[in-house]
Each structure stands twice: as C-alpha cells, then as structure tokens.
Chains A and B, each alone.
Chain A
C-alpha cells in the first residue's frame, strides 16, 4: 500500500503540450477514478504513473519517493490494460505466474500464490487453458489475477471494462470494488464511464483537456459540480441547461430564462443582471401544475420504475425523469419546477459554479 502524489505534473509530446500543472494526492487504500472523455489525458497520466511514459514536468511520488526516473518494474505497481494484454502463447497459470517467475520466486511459492489468486477470481477451473479459450469476463479476471499475484503497492486500471457487454460490465464493476475492499490496495482507475466512476470511486478526479476540472467524492461531484462541464459529464441522463439573467424577485435571487423564472438559493454568489447558465438534472425536475417551466411532451419513455419525459421547452429540449404514477401522453403540456437547492448555477462566461 502506498500513497501516490502528483505534484505539478506536465506532459508534452514534442512541442505539443497536452497536460500541465496537474496536482493531487491519493491516500493509502483509496480507490481513485480518473474520469474524462477520450483525449483528456487520463490514460497518459496513468501511463506516466506506471512509467510507460516519461514525466515532462513536475514530481511523481509513490510511497513518498520521487519515481520520475524509476524503471517501471521497480515502481511496485501492477496494471490492467484495456485489451487485457494477456500473453496468448501461455496458459492462464503461466500468465499469472509470469511476474513471479521473472522475479525468481520459488516454484512452490508461485504455485501457492497463483492458486490463491485463481481461487479469489474463480479462475481455478481455467488455469490450464489458453487465453483465447476464455470469455471476455474470464480474460478480464486473468488480467486482474496477473496484477494481484504480485501484491503490488498500487493497482492501475486502464478502462478495464470497456470491452465487455453491459451486463458483464456491471458485474465486474462490483467484483473489482469488492476485491478492493478485501485487498485495500491503493487503486487508480481510468474510465470515461461516469457510472463506473460514481459506483466504484472513493474519490473522482474529473479531467478535461489535460487539466483537472474537479476532485471530490462521487456525491460531491454529483451534487456540487464545479463547472458546467462536470455537471454535463456526471449523471446518466444528461442535465438540462438553460441560459438566463439573474434578477431579484420576492427577496430571493432568481434567474430569468427562456423557460421562465427559476428560483435559486439565496446564498448563491450572483449579482442582479449577471449572465448565467442554470442546470437542472432530469431527476430533480418535479411535475408541478404551476411550475415555471412550460414544456410539451415529445416522447414518453417508460423505463420500468419511472418514466423519462423528453419534452420541448422554449430553451430547447428538456429532459425529466418522473415517477410513473401519473399518466403522460405525447403532445400534452407538462409544467415543471425545481427546488432552488437543486438548481446549479454557472457563470455564462467562465462556466464555473456560482
């Protein structure tokens, strides 16, 4: 177990700078997810941590030691790759045992550790098979076994679930998290899937174009997104945005938007006349007969437990997820309201939270 610390990390490929001034700290036993769209630098940061890419600027510390110039094999880390990168010419047993063999561990000790890892990952019946004879989920587990067996101080995962189908992905998600709960190894997990981030992480690092946009617990990034970008990225049904101008009405600040006057929290750091963007999550929209947001239902999608309403509002499409007790029909008017504390307000210029 070790801490990992990024201190003003920068990365350039030739003259092209793709990352600058990235600083944060990962505590022992923490499960940290680097989240962002492709090209945001999250995989590069992970590969720098592994030592597969050089660090152009700043200090990378693992376990309190600067490792910028330490060879990957001496960093005491293990990595699971997106395409698993199993050794196709070796059986599962040898795949898992490889790192121990290279480290010249005693044969019976190797056997003991490989079998223990296989036991944990339910791979025991497959040890004598070749990777090509396994399913996607099993390959994924072999990749994890290979990382586990070394008992490293940091685990690195690079989008390990993106090659699996949706059901298996959900299953492996819980398995990885349970494994972490058991082993408590410091883990850095890269993904572009916000659901993975929300469900697995102790701490989420949202990245955008080589910079950190927000660091926080899943609840923090969901409830108080630091920017419009984070608000947009987190949450499975996309948040509704509407531009507007701040007004003071009835002693409480509100925002005049094409969708009507939306009340915001009295504490919000807004000035009358300021141009802002309001964000309301589909789950926070409440059907209310005198609500300010007047929409026309375009599509009623029944999702079992609740209903997703895709509606047309003056500011564009408005999405709401509401419970199914009320019947909705396409074409009818539906009015929505939102509690002031659920309305996210961002500066129109900087797109930062107010």
Chain B
C-alpha cells in the first residue's frame, strides 16, 4: 500500500502515543517502587530525576539486595510487616495450579461438547455460560460457609478450586470454539484409521488446539493472578495472593506506596514470563478461526 510520507509519520506518531499511554503507568509505578517516600508525591511530579533506593524491594522481599543506592538500614531478619515474598509464591502456586485445573477439565469438556452428540448438549452449553452471569459477590458468603464445612478455608486447595471453577465456563466455551474450528472430518478420518476417541483427542486434536489452549491458559492465569474477592473471603493468615496483600499496605499510619509499588512491579514479572512462554502460540490461537486450511 502506498502512503505519503506525512501519513506514515502520522501513523508512527499515533502508534507511539498509544504505546506511551499504555506503558506510562507501568513505567511510573515501577519508578515509584524505587523511590523514597518523599519523592513519590512531588509537585510538579518528577519522572527521572530522583534518588533511587532498593529499600522498598528489600522490605517486601525481606532480603538485603547487596547493591546500595547510598547507605541503607539493615532489614529486619525474617521480614517485617511488609515482608511479602511468600505471598508472591502463593500467587504463583494458585494461579498456575488453578489454570492447570481449568485447562484440563475445560479441554476435555469442550471436546465432548464440540464432537459428541448427546441429549441436552445445547442446554448444557447455555447452562455453563449462565453460571458466569451471577455476580461473584453473591456467592462469596455462601462459599465461605461451604469452605468452612469442608475445612478448605485458608488452604491452597480451596483457592485453587475456586479460581479453577470460576474460570471453567469461559475456558470451556473458548476451547469449544477452538475445537469447533477443527474440521470434524479430521476426527472421522482418524476414526476410520482405527483410532479410539482418546487417541484421536490426544494425538490429533490436542496438538491442533495448542494455540487455543495457550490463549485460554493466559486468560485463566491472569484472572487468577488478579482475583481479589474470593481470596479475601476464603483466606485468613496462612495464604494470601498479591492483590489482597497489596491492600494491606494501607495502614492506620498511612499508605506505604513505595512498598506497594515494589510488590506490584514484582508481580508483573511472573505474569509476564507466562505470557512470553505461550506468546508464540497465542497470536495463532487468537486468529485460528480465520485461517482455513
């Protein structure tokens, strides 16, 4: 496509503007993590020219980083009130395990819904979707009592179950649409080749749906990574995820913005790594429906 120089420049500028709009909050938040409290709310705001400190990270992770931006006080051994490293680990465990749970169940269910004809199949799909129509807060309190009965309160298993199950409807519907895009002749062909349903699923269909699985997994992971309400209600002291502990930086003696930013900035990293890992499949997954083979 031929474009005049002006238009091209304009497009480049517009592109960078959009990137800037999305990137600026991340940049600012990250720099806040490296600031002393006095440098955070300056007016006019400073963007680059501040005295950097690793103190926020040291408090949040309960370690001395060993590289100092000037003199540092010793960090309380074993962590003080702001020691949050284990919470990051909680988040990683919960997000990955609930994603695995949702993907395994959703993939199997979606394949059945896409390929097998049984009575009430369409109703089943509608029912699956309808479970997402309820506001989560409506079930938070009942869930609390149910979990209490089953001793699931404040356990990994409990939160993993809730996050996994909450992701199921969306994951099932997404995966179903990916399976629907795979021509059923491929299954039939394998069936005539003598393969069992399970072999077809494992050796033929699953490899073809990799992109869809990656896309679904990213959505599930991010959901669990950022979920607040159920972690707040269903955990007490032994586990908490990043979004919930972030709120504990708001204390009676003020808000620890620097520490909150440090945890937030650190929390970007695992999610970022997960997305990078599956990114190769992701783009293909999101466009798979449009590519006829």
Task: Give A contacts to B, CB under 8 Å.
Answer: 50-52, 72-73, 77-79, 81-83, 85-89, 98-99, 102-103, 131-132, 146, 150
Not counting A85-B188, A88-B293, A98-B193, a sample of 14 additional A-B residue pairs whose C-beta atoms are within 8 angstroms of each other reads A51-B192, A52-B191, A72-B188, A73-B193, A82-B185, A85-B183, A86-B186, A87-B190, A87-B204, A99-B193, A102-B193, A102-B194, A102-B199, A132-B293
Chain B positions within 8 Å of A85 at CB level: 183, 185-186, 188-189
Q: How far is the CA of A81 from the CA of B189 in the complex (A)?
A: 8
Contact flag A81-B293 (CB < 8 Å), given A87-B204, A89-B207: no
Report, as a range, how many residues of chain B touch the other chain: 10 to 19
Task: Give B contacts to A, CB under 8 Å.
Answer: 183, 185-186, 188-195, 199, 203-204, 207-208, 293
- B183, B193, B208: most-surrounded residue (chain A CB, <10 A): B193
Chain B positions within 8 Å of A86 at CB level: 186
| 24 A-B pairs whose Cβ atoms sit less than 8 Å apart in the complex | A51-B192, A52-B192, A72-B191, A73-B191, A73-B192, A73-B193, A73-B194, A78-B192, A79-B188, A79-B192, A83-B185, A85-B186, A85-B189, A86-B186, A87-B186, A87-B190, A88-B208, A88-B293, A89-B204, A102-B193, A102-B194, A103-B194, A132-B293, A146-B193
Q: How far is the CA of A342 from the CA of B177 in the complex (A)?
A: 56
A91 to chain B, nearest CB (A): 12
Chain A positions within 8 Å of B186 at CB level: 85-87
B162 to chain A, nearest CB (A): 34
* Top 5 A-B residue pairs of the complex, sorted by shortest distance between their CB atoms: A99-B193, A85-B185, A89-B207, A85-B189, A73-B194
Which of B189, B199, B203, B208 is within 8 Å of A79, CB to CB? B189
Q: How far is the CA of A79 from the CA of B186 in the complex (A)?
A: 11
Q: How far is the CA of A103 from the CA of B203 in the complex (A)?
A: 14
Contact A102 B195 (CB under 8 A): yes
Chain A positions within 8 Å of B204 at CB level: 87, 89
Q: Which residue of B lies closest to A77 (CB)?
A: B192
- A73, A78, A103: most-surrounded residue (chain B CB, <10 A): A73
B201 to chain A, nearest CB (A): 13
Chain B positions within 8 Å of A78 at CB level: 192
Q: Interface residues of B: mostly helix, strand, loop or mixed?
A: helix
Which of A52, A88, A99 is within 8 Å of B194, CB to CB? A99
B188 to chain A, nearest CB (A): 5
Q: How far is the CA of A344 from the CA of B257 in the complex (A)?
A: 94
Contact A89 B188 (CB under 8 A): no
Q: How far is the CA of A102 from the CA of B193 in the complex (A)?
A: 8
Contact B195 A98 (CB under 8 A): yes
Q: How far is the CA of A132 from the CA of B208 in the complex (A)?
A: 13
A125 to chain B, nearest CB (A): 22
Q: Which residue of A lies closest to B293 (CB)?
A: A88
Q: Which residue of B lies closest to A47 (CB)?
A: B188
Contact A83 B188 (CB under 8 A): no
- B183, B194, B207: most-surrounded residue (chain A CB, <10 A): B194
Chain B positions within 8 Å of A73 at CB level: 191-195
Chain B positions within 8 Å of A88 at CB level: 208, 293
Q: How far is the CA of A50 from the CA of B189 in the complex (A)?
A: 10
Q: How far is the CA of A50 from the CA of B293 in the complex (A)?
A: 24
A324 to chain B, nearest CB (A): 43
Chain B positions within 8 Å of A50 at CB level: 188, 192
